[in-house]
Amino acid sequence: MLISDNLKHLLQVLADGHFHSGTELARVLAVSRTAVWKHLQSLAELGIDVVGVHGKGYRLQKPLQLLDAGQIEAHLDAWIVPLLRGIDIHAVIASTNAYLMEIANRSQISGRVCLAEYQTAGKGRRGRAWVSPFGHNIYLSIVWHYPGGPAAIAGLSLAVGIAVVRALRKLGIDEVNLKWPNDIYWRGRKLAGILIEVSGESGGPCHAVIGLGLNVYLPGRQAETIEQAWVDLQQIAGDEIILQRNRLVALLLNEMLPIIAGFEPAMLRNHVEEWREYDCMRGREATLFIGQQRFDGVVRGIDDQGLLLMESGEGEIRAFASGEVSFRAS
């Protein structure tokens, strides 16, 4: 899907959330009223809700802040800038993770960041689709090269989760928790997810693409396909948060980049206690899925290596390095 220059211009005009008449929009875009109407229909296809009121014109259901590299960089901490090797912002892309993975396969670059307003093939764990309406959320990926190979980044998703919680707290979002191994929750509902994809030799250098999908605002009709309890920042903090997307990206990079750049397994020990503070599963009944295998039990937290501890009905505690955990109804 391509977005025309006229459609981008229309979004920039409507982004203020105010009403604009069809005549005004036609004049600004130098197109006919019919063309304006067609552009408005295209916005709906991107997941952007437009309100039309006779005699007043058109406005977005919610205000919009488009991503801007200059605004993001203005909010970055000075000591973070040397870790950054460029910010690529795409109006439409298949997947920010896939984009950086393709770049990483051709080079050993570290610190490249990719952001998108809209993903046509955004993905979560186990190949699930990630709902990606245009301009409303954060779709962020970072690539980093690790000479030590995949074994050198065991537990990275736990550390990145802590970075996300820290960033959200600086934005004033409290009661944020972590669900092993890579989900961010707020009051029992999913707010964000982390997806790390690794490519390289098992015993040699590798590159990792760390992807984050964070719900800032999910229009109701876009969220109808989500099968689990979810929440967005707009529900937590109100409409003003929608206009802080660029600042939010900077806060995330301020926290994520140092952890990603300096990560090694021994470093995880420095984060385990903080991760445990945010653990939303400890003491709860859950089911762990590893492929077709299923394990039922009570979550007993994580060990010092970041492995999930689960206690079976017989009282045996086992440690798991991977898998997907689902809450069980109490």
Active site amino acids: 125, 190, 328
DSSP state letter for 222? T
Diameter over CA atoms, the chain? 73
Phi, psi for residue 316 in degrees, rounded to 5:
-80, 135
141 is in an annotated binding site: no
DSSP reduced 3-state for 123: strand
Alpha helices of 2-112 — where are they, by DSSP H? 5-14, 22-29, 33-45, 69-74, 96-104
**Tokens standing for residue 193:** 């997810």
**Closest to 131 (Cα-Cα) out of 190, 202, 87:** 190
190 is in an annotated binding site: yes
CA distances from 243 to 43, 203, 254, 260 (A): 19, 45, 19, 27
Q: Which residues pair with 154 in a beta bridge?
A: none
DSSP reduced 3-state for 87: strand
Whether the Cβ atoms of residue 31 and residue 5 lie closer than 8 Å to each other: no
**Closest to 189 (Cα-Cα) out of 252, 280, 251, 276:** 280
96 is in an annotated binding site: yes
Q: Which residues pair with 186 in a beta bridge?
A: 176, 189
**Closest to 199 (Cα-Cα) out of 97, 114, 291:** 97
170 is in an annotated binding site: no
119 is in an annotated binding site: yes
Q: Where are the beta strands (DSSP E) in the chain?
A: 50-53, 57-60, 87-93, 112-119, 138-146, 176-179, 183-186, 189-200, 206-214, 285-290, 293-302, 308-311, 317-320, 324-327
Q: Which residues are annotated as a binding site?
A: 95-97, 119, 190
Q: Which residues are annotated as a binding site for biotin?
A: 95-97, 119, 190
